[in-house]
A and B are shown apart, each in its own frame.
Chain A
Amino acid sequence: MAQLTKERGISKEGKEEEKVNISAEAAVEIRNLDVYYGEERAIKDVSLDVLNKEVTALIGPSGCGKSTLLRSINRMNDLIDGARVEGTIAVDGRDIYTNEVQVSKLRQKIGQVFQKPNPFPKSVYDNIAFGPRAYSHHLRKEKGIFSSFKGFFRREERSPIDGRDMDDVVRDSLEQAALLEEVEGKLHESAMDLSGGQQQRLCIARALATKPEIILMDEPTSSLDPISAGRIEDLIEDLSQEYTVLIVTHNMQQAARISDKTALLWLGELIEMGETDQLFENPEKEMTEKYITGRVG
């Protein structure tokens, strides 16, 4: 793994150099993963690593299990009746499918952005503050009811995740999602009045507010117009400075533009994974070449 990262550092030159040390290990390690929906095997023996602070793209035709793979990383598959996972997924070296793992904390650490922008029917501010507030609810359950009295009379609200003022958390998240300028002065108006692209960036900001390490994106631009989609792509590239991004996309050009690594899934199997440039220009497998050139899929 370290070797791969180093290659990337050299290939992109200069400023990437400092990242070499940090990204020495995988953020998500998937080993021999099988996911079943009832009797149907949606993911077949997939093993791959998602490296720290890189953009990894999952491509493949519809129904090949890209979204299933994504959802199994933050255990959103638990919500689907009859879904069953075998094999291991380790985040920061810890298996997430054990009983000790608290799903709430896991999902707070792994943000998700959905295909269709889904802001809550609340104000922009409340949308962003939703994650931290949910986390404080989680803490209250853990520490007992009396912990909630401590901040009862304090006027400013603090994020329970890093203890910062909630206003700052909201503004920082919006700024990171490149949305602050557009919603300045409209923080307490309904998020439903924003345009589709703004809503999607709001959803990204909402995911950032819980201080995640990994952000999962499930075709985040597929319901947007090209200009909004382009802004989201720029944003993803910016985010990869600080976050590990795993993005599912239908659009091969998009994967080629924004990702560092690309993995091709075919009917639940991992066909090939590698450096994006290499995979698109010089694929190892015949299947990959066929898919990229449009002869299958």
Chain B
Amino acid sequence: MAPIKENISETDAADNSLISIEGRVMRRGMLVLWLLLGVVFLSLSTLLAIQPDFLSETLISILGGVILAVAGLTVIAFKVIDDYQPPISHFLLSLSMIVSSGVIFVFFPNQGIVLPGLDGDITPQLATISLFFLVTFAAVWAGLLFYWENPAHNRQLAVQYFTWVSVLIPLGVLAFFIVYTILEGSAVITWDFISSASDLMRGEIGIFPAIMGTFSLIIGATVFAVPLGVGAAVFLTEYANRGWIKQAVGVTADCLWSTPSIVFGLFGYVFLVPRITGHSTLLAGQIILAAMLLPLTIATSTEAITAVPDEFRNGSLALGASKWWTIRRVVLPSSIPSIVTGVLLGIGRIAGETAPIMLIAVASHTNAPDFFSLSAPYFHLGPLFSEVDALPYRLYAIYKAGVGGSIQEAWGTALVLIVLVLLFYGLGIIVRSYYRRNRGW
């Protein structure tokens, strides 16, 4: 171990000697400036917390920008200041930064943590996001400092630390969102809220039509997209010999995947809607959502089918099975877990999409799509050609347009939407583990 340590200290020394005197002075100056500005920033935010009209918004934006820029530059320069000795270790310093920002976040949600220069009317979501960035940054910074203080000794510990940080931060954010939504939304969740439609005359809000509408959209999109997507993947992996066809389809699918969802909506509005009924329809929404689901289905199916070992194909063909039989009985069953997981992830995405369906499929407070009836003909296609309500759109309508409910009911709707998406993920996990039992390569 000894020689390695020597090498490291030698390199460090070499690095330090490369920094010019002027550079050191400059960096030291920046550090002092940063600390000063930090004090100013903290006192400003405290003042703002006490007296919101203390400074004009413009001044706050300018100050905020300067502070951010200097802080960023100093953070880069901080590492190479060789003889700076903080009173406590860098690691503890950064950890205390994390803790104190958490404390500020809890006690001053609107002033303390929000980036200066932003509008005073801050939603809790934005505060959450800024906390997320701050905590992530501080945690990574703490880990790096921890490592830089003694690379030879702290390498293993730093790796462990980073592993935990990278696990805990996303989990924490997820847990925060879910817990927050549950806390805000659970108050309005009753059986009536879920199982009945709104009765505006009596002022009762119900989201049953929105739940059924979202389900109809998802099911329709899946029915359109999955056979097409899996078929395309089978063709691409098993039949298409020429490289350029595969490449062309791959690039097209990627482009489709990265197309903004509102563009899908616009396309549906100018192309599909006039050709179906002339007004918003469930069918148009299903087709557009299918187009959004398609690229992910193609990508995950292609990957899943490529991952099936050739030994299975050869084994099947050597028994006299035809190519199609091999695909149907060996290749597809082996790749179903991954395909299902991919499709369910895609469903999780489209279930929450508002933009594409806003123009072409939804209207607030319509009836639930009613495909089945107790009298002849028992099954109708009518709902396909009429408007539906959907959970994300209901959320949007309540929140933005103030239509049909209070903010509390918006949170309730959000909770139902999250539960629905998580149900789909749970279903994906169950299907996956069911098929995994028979898979062992």
Q: Which residues of A are in contact with B by a Cβ distance under 8 Å?
A: 74, 76, 79, 81, 103-108, 111-112, 114, 116, 118-123, 130-131, 133-135, 137-138, 141, 190, 192-193, 203, 206-207, 210
Contact = CB atoms under 8 A, between A and B. Distances in A.
A270 to B, nearest CB: 24
Given A134-B325, A138-B322, A192-B438, A118 B317 contact: no
Contacts of B243: none
Contacts of A106: 320
A107 B314 contact: no
A134 B318 contact: no
A67 to B, nearest CB: 12
Nearest to A203: B315
Contacts of B312: 118, 120-121
Contacts of B22: none
Contacts of A107: 317-320
A104 B322 contact: yes
A104 B163 CA distance: 53
Give the interface residue-count category, chain B. 20 to 34
B111 interface: no
A104 B321 contact: yes
Nearest to A199: B440
Contacts of A111: 318-319
Contacts of A103: 320
B329 interface: yes
B321 A130 contact: yes
B441 A121 contact: yes
Given A130-B329, A134-B325, A134-B329, A112 B439 contact: no
Interface in B426-441: 437-441
A190 B317 contact: no
A190 B440 contact: yes
Nearest to A109: B320
B321 A190 contact: no
Given A76-B314, A118-B315, A134 B438 contact: no
12 contacts: A74-B318, A76-B318, A111-B318, A114-B314, A118-B311, A131-B320, A134-B321, A134-B329, A137-B322, A192-B440, A203-B315, A206-B315
Contacts of B320: 103-108, 131, 134-135, 138, 210
B330 A120 contact: yes
Interface of B: 241, 309, 311-312, 314-322, 325, 329-330, 333-334, 437-441
A112 B317 CA distance: 10
Nearest to B318: A112
Nearest to B322: A104
Question: What are the nearest 8 A-B pairs in CB distance?
Answer: A192-B440, A108-B320, A134-B321, A118-B311, A131-B319, A112-B318, A107-B320, A118-B315
Given A116-B311, A134-B329, A122 B438 contact: yes
A121 B318 contact: no
B314 A134 contact: no
A121 B315 contact: no
A206 B319 contact: yes
A77 to B, nearest CB: 11
A12 B440 CA distance: 44
Given A114-B311, A120-B330, A121-B334, A190 B316 contact: no
A114 B321 contact: no
A118 B321 CA distance: 15
Contacts of B329: 130, 133-134
Nearest to A131: B319
B52 to A, nearest CB: 65
A141 B314 CA distance: 21
A108 B241 CA distance: 27
A85 to B, nearest CB: 17
Nearest to A134: B321
A107 B313 CA distance: 14
B325 A121 contact: no
A79 B314 contact: yes
A134 B320 CA distance: 7
Given A107-B319, A130-B329, 19 more contacts: A79-B314, A104-B320, A105-B320, A112-B318, A114-B314, A114-B315, A121-B312, A130-B316, A130-B319, A131-B320, A131-B321, A134-B316, A134-B320, A134-B322, A134-B329, A138-B320, A190-B437, A207-B318, A210-B319
B76 to A, nearest CB: 52
